[in-house]
Amino acid sequence: MHALIVVAHHDPHSLTRSVAEQVGAGLSACGHTFEIADLAAEGFDPRYTAADHQVHRSHATPPADVLAEQARIERADALVVVFPIYWWSMPALLKGWIDRVFVNGWAIDYGPDLPVTKKLRHLKVHLLALGAADAHAFDRHGYAEAMRTQIDYGIFDYCGAQVLTSQLLLESESDTAQAHLHRARTLGQGLFERETVAG
């Protein structure tokens, strides 16, 4: 089976990128394939333009870069999103990718007089978010729940996608890096376990 691993970090030597690579290593170890979509390295433009707005309003054909991203998702049996936590959410690069790629007519269908139709019910999603704060800070202020509400439900569930994994890899600037890398590899190894058993 095949996974698309989306990573949003400007530094190719970051822990975020290493976590994405370890997910891939786990997949490879189990005979699966993967592609890493490194949004920063590839120069994806996250700016929502007038052309994107036309897609939203009138189901116009998306720009070529958006069509290419949608095709990568369609080729995958699972989507893995790996990102650093900026201000208790995702980086602007990743948010712009979602804004432009998960569009009306592809991820959902709706209009002024129509209910929302969720079009990504087949998509299985795994989220790995890296943060420097500890779990106590995330729980004390309600940030962990806010992120789940905004990202897991507000974005992916709204499109019908199934979020199977949603993990906060915290205290990433301390000595937890190796544990996070091990966790990522384990996730990769088990990503398609249920599908393989069921098949």
For every residue of 55-122, DSSP letters joined together read HHHH-PPPPHHHHHHHHHHHH-SEEEEEEE-BTTB--HHHHHHHHHHS-BTTTEEEETTEEEEE--TT
Q: Decide the pairing of beta strands 108-111 and 162-169.
A: unpaired
Give the domain 2-190 fold: Rossmann fold (3.40.50)
Where are the domains positioned within the chain?
Answer: 2-190
CA distance 92 to 26: 28
Mean pLDDT of the chain: 94
Among 32-36, 110-114, 131-135, 187-191, whose mean pLDDT is lowest?
110-114
- Is this prediction's pTM over 0.85? yes
- The pLDDT value given to residue 199: 43
- How does pLDDT run across 12-32, given as a tens digit for each residue? 999 999 999 999 999 999 999
- The pLDDT value given to residue 198: 41
